[in-house]
Structure 1
Amino acid sequence: MEKAEPVALAGALQAEGLRRFDQLLSGVEKYRHAPKSRNVADAPVLWREGTTRLLDYRTQQDPRAPRLLVIPSLVNRYYILDLEPDASFLRWTAAQGFAPFVMDWGSPGAEERGFGFTDYVAGRLERALDAVQREPGGPIFVIGYCMGGNLALALSLRRQAEIAGLILLATPWDFHAEAKEHSLMLAEIGRGLEPVLQLFGELPVDILQCFFSGFDPFQVLRKFQNFAGADPASPGAKKFVALEDWLNDGMAVSAAVARECLTGWYGENTPARGAWKVAGAPVLPQQFQQPALCLIPAGDRIVPPKSALALADALPKGERILPSAGHIGMMAGSKALPLVWEPMKAWIGR
């Protein structure tokens, strides 16, 4: 094989770089002009406090139906669980005979900017659980997604006598189990953001987006390059637009929560060390005596599987399923139903 001349090689690399950059720009421009694809009506509000709402996805009031309190992350909108009529975990569970309720955190208002995890768990979540308990239905299961799983665990420990089971979806726990250097880097960046936290009382959503893109820096390039050649009318293109709209509709988090997540969780690994506290008490999964199910997507780039597996190992009655999916795909992808939703239904119904 002949060696390429340096000048010719440099020209070929430049041409390929320009071609890919043009694909990226074409994909971004195509997305900017794409019609909004999500056409789903909001569920009724059962309870609200401040910017927090508890949405009621029931289609009937059955006194035997298992009640599901679903807790999403504080940084992403809940509607990844209700993305489209044919891709809605919440509406599917209602159709299966469950009584689903979901927390809609909303962006922090004046009151929530002063919140820490204690305010969210021992305050908002406990009162939302009270609202669910007042509704007719069967046993209560708490379901947490991503950071929402950490909140779900903390709530369930405080109220475990009232909860039939806990389901944790892609929930991080040991932040140093994989890519420890990356976690420590995020912690250092978090410390450097202290002036921003003090000025705004929150971590702005645009900075959070930078954190998420850092987990897979080339994903943005790949996905928009692929979208550039997609048929805009195809189901795949419409799903892409719906997911991108959701990703771009994130929320800021309060300064106290940002500090605990970045310097506490990522930097000091407080959850795995038993040092993360809510209302003065450490959140210890070893003390949760009810059944628990951990669904840990094998292809997760946001929550490394070993991080989530550490939580499954710590739960005395913890079971685990490792679906072949990614962090978002596990709940909104084409294989979510057989790989995640159906196994959850079977586990609850045992």
Structure 2
Amino acid sequence: MTPRPEVPGPLKRRGPRPLLLHLTLAMLRSNASRAMSPLWNADWRNSSVEAILRSVQDAVRDGNPDRGFPEAVLLETLEQDAALIEGIAAYRRHPGQRSLEDPPAVWAEGGSRLLDYGTGGGRPVLFVPSLVNRAYVLDLIEGHSMLRWLAARGVRPLLLDWGWPAETERRFTLTDYVAGRLERAMAAAARIAGAPPVLAGYCMGGTLAVAAAQRRPDLISGLALLAAPWDFHAPDPQRSRQAAEALPLLEPALAFSQTLSVDLLQTLFALLDPWSVAAKYRAFARMPQDSERARLFVALEDWVNDGVPLAAEVARACLRDWYGENAPARGSWHIAGLPVEPQAIAMPAFVAIPDRDRIVPPESALPLAKLIPGAMLHQPAAGHIGMAAGARAEPALWRPLLAWLEGLGRQSEATR
């Protein structure tokens, strides 16, 4: 018999974060289904729970629906609970690990770095990710790295890795990030590459890139916005205001650490779509665990659960000004005292808006394509993360972005 170790081994993974929240949500849904099932009629056809309806159809075949329906609901919820636990356990024991090594850092400031994926010349493109997620989503794993794919085709990608907010960054405002660190990274990229780069912002990084592009057009040659939110009240103003109303509840945590922690951020995201995490882990339990699909699922979930805290003043501004007051869309968002106005941007622009995005709804991002004069609108059939790193990311985003970048080169040659 193998002796029991005195100290348990470390967990390979902590996700889905926060685990207790997701388990509690699943439990509440199951208990509600079981409690309400005696009151439901077996002929009811308006349920959104398709799995329960399939069980109902089986249950009423014996001609006694009053008895069969509650039993069917009980069996279905028990099966769903078991599948969720099985999916989480399968994810935690999966052997997949990210093995890509970061390229050289060509510039650094505080905890931030500029990573150079280029192999020489080529049009430089400075990629700006969100402040609340790790930058490596754009360099996820072998076969799913947009930056390495572009580099292999003659582009020189430079990635701004914001890093973990240390004592200095914990005091940052949005002005510090945009008019300070981002603009200095833009200047460094132009100096290192020997030419102004295209500025490409992903998610929240795109919103910040709009402000930086307006302020410093001399440092860049174009603007690419990838699933960047702008109208924070679209399509559901009430849900956005509810997010803002959570700010007073978060104040003790903000005051304690001067950040909005990763688990609190994950809680806010989870409450936007409470059942989605449980559903995807149930689906994962049914996948062949040695498949490419499972490998990609694990890599993306590792990234999702490997978040970054948000500086307290930035968190307050995002919740109060963006979600509460919809300041960007209303024209009242200011950086360094000046309003951010996309309509004032006069440079080539590419706006990618995935049509199945549940993190940044298309209605939130579409105004940017309309406000920036002459912007090219690209609407792939993809989700927010899938567009950048999913199984079909290459046709959904990588190729169209590359074609637009190559078009910029042809335009530059034509004007010489």
- Pairwise same-fold verdict (TM > 0.5): yes
Matched ranges for 1:197-212 at <5 A: 197-212=254-269
CA deviations over 1:136-183 (Å, ceiling 9, x no partner): 344410000000001111111111133211000000101112011110
Partner of 1:256, secondary structure, is helix
Tell me the equivalent position of 1:189. Answer: 246
Tell whether 2:204 aligns with 1:143: no
Stretch deviating more after TM superposition (329-338 or 155-164): 155-164
Corresponding position: 1:9 with 2:9: no
Query: 1:32 maps to which residue?
Result: 92
Amino acid at match of 1:263: R
Q: CA deviation at 1:192?
A: 2.3
Which whole-Å CA distance do the structure 2 matches of 1:134 and 1:56 have between them?
Answer: 13
More deviation, 65-74/337-346: 337-346
Once the two structures are TM-superposed, the CA of residue 4 in structure 1 deviates from its matched residue by 4.4
Contact 1:329–1:335, Cα closer than 8 Å, also in 2: yes
For the pair 1:50 / 2:110, whether they are aligned, the reply is: yes
Query: Following the alignment from structure 2 to structure 1, what is the Cα–Cα distance between the partners of residues 298 and 87?
Result: 11
Tell me: CA distance 1:314–1:4, structure 2 relative to 1, closer, same or farther (3 Å).
Answer: farther
Task: Decide whether the 8 Å contact of 2:190 with 2:220 is kept in 1.
Answer: no
String of CA shifts for 1:47-99, please: whole Å, max 9, x gaps.
11111111111122x2xx21111000000001110011211011111111111
Superposition map of 1:165-314 within 5 A: 165-314=222-371
Aligned match of 1:128: 185
Of 78-87 and 153-162, the range deviating more from structure 2: 153-162
Distance in 2 between residues matched to 1:213 and 1:198, nearest whole Å:
23
Task: Letter of the 1:342 partner, please give it.
Answer: R
> What is the CA-CA distance between 1:249 and the residue it aligns to?
0.1
1:81 aligns with 2:141: no
- Give the conservation status (yes or no) of the 8 Å contact 2:231–2:367: yes
- Mapped partners of 2:368, 2:330: distance in 1: 11
Task: Please say which structure displays the higher CA radius of gyration.
Answer: 2
- The amino acid that maps onto 1:304 is P
2:348–2:375 CA contact under 8 A, matched in 1: yes
Distance in 2 between residues matched to 1:78 and 1:136, nearest whole Å: 20
Q: Looking at both structures, which has the greater relative contact order when contacts are Cα pairs under 8 Å and sequence separation is at least 6?
A: 1
Unaligned runs of 5+ in 2: 1-42, 44-59, 408-416
| Structure 1 residue matching 2:376: 3-state secondary structure | strand
SS of the aligned residue for 1:109 comes to: coil
8 Å CA contact 1:191–1:263 kept in 2: the answer is no
Paired with 2:194 and 2:187, the residues of 1 have a C-alpha distance of 13
Cα distance in structure 2, aligned partners of 1:236 and 1:292 = 33
> CA offsets, 1:17-71, max 9 Å, x none?
00010000000011111123311111111111111111111122x2xx2111100
Amino acid aligned to 2:370: D
Using the alignment, how far apart are the partners of 1:308 and 1:38 within structure 2?
31
Distance 2:305 2:296 in 1: 14
Contact 1:294 1:319 in 2 (8 A): yes
Pair 1:111-2:173 in alignment: no
Identity percentage of aligned residues: 48
* Distance (whole Å) between structure 2 residues aligned to residue 162 and residue 126 of structure 1: 8
Instruction: Say how many residue pairs are matched.
Output: 347
* Structure 1 pair 139–112 and aligned structure 2 pair: CA distance change class (3 A): closer
- Cα distance, 1:216 vs structure 2: 2.0
The residue that corresponds to 2:3 in the other structure is none
Runs of 4+ with >4 A deviation: 1-5
Contact 2:190 2:196 in 1 (8 A): no
Matched residues in 2 for 1:326 and 1:266: separation?
Answer: 21
1:96-146, Cα deviation, whole Å (9 max, x unpaired): 111111111112111110001111111111111121111234441000000
Structure 1 residue 5, shift from structure 2 partner: 4.4
Please tell me the residue identity of whatever aligns with 2:252. Answer: P
Q: Which amino acid aligns with 2:142?
A: P
User: Unpaired segments of 5 or more residues in structure 1?
Assistant: none
